[in-house]
Amino acid sequence: MDLQRAYLEANGGLANMQALSSLILDGVMTNAEGEAYEFKLYKKRPDLMRMQIDLPQGSQLTVFDGRRGFELLSRRGEATRLVELDVDASEKAKFEAGMDGIFYHLRGRSEWLEVVSEVEIEGKPAFEIVISEAADLPYERLWIGTEHFQEVKLRRKASSEAGREYLEEIYFSDFEQIRGVWLAKTARFERDGNFFQSVCINKVRANVGLFDSLFEKPKI
Residue 220 lies in a domain: no
**Per-residue pLDDT for the chain (220 aa), expressed as one digit of tens each?**
699 999 999 999 999 999 999 999 999 999 999 999 999 999 999 999 999 999 988 999 999 999 999 999 998 888 899 999 988 788 778 878 888 988 998 888 989 999 999 999 999 999 999 999 999 888 999 999 999 999 999 999 988 777 889 999 999 999 999 999 999 999 999 999 999 999 999 999 999 999 999 999 998 8
Q: Are 41 and 54 in contact (CB under 8 A)?
A: no
The Cα 174–Cα 186 span in angstroms is 6
Residue 25 lies in a domain: yes
**Considering its fold, how many domains does the chain have in total?**
1
Range of the domain at 152: 3-215
**What's the one-letter identity of residue 154?**
L
Backbone angles phi, psi at 58, to 5 degrees: 160, -145
Residue 164 has what pLDDT? 86
Q: Chain-centre distance of CA 90, in angstroms?
A: 14
Q: Which H helix or E strand runs over 203?
A: strand 194-206
Residue 158 has what pLDDT? 84
- Could you tell me which residues come within 8 angstroms of residue 21 by beta carbon, excluding any fewer than 6 positions away? 44, 45, 99, 207
Residue 201 lies in a domain: yes
CATH number at residue 102: 2.50.20.10
Residue 1 has what pLDDT? 67
The Cα 71–Cα 73 span in angstroms is 6
Q: Are 41 and 50 in contact (CB under 8 A)?
A: yes
Q: Are 174 and 164 in contact (CB under 8 A)?
A: no
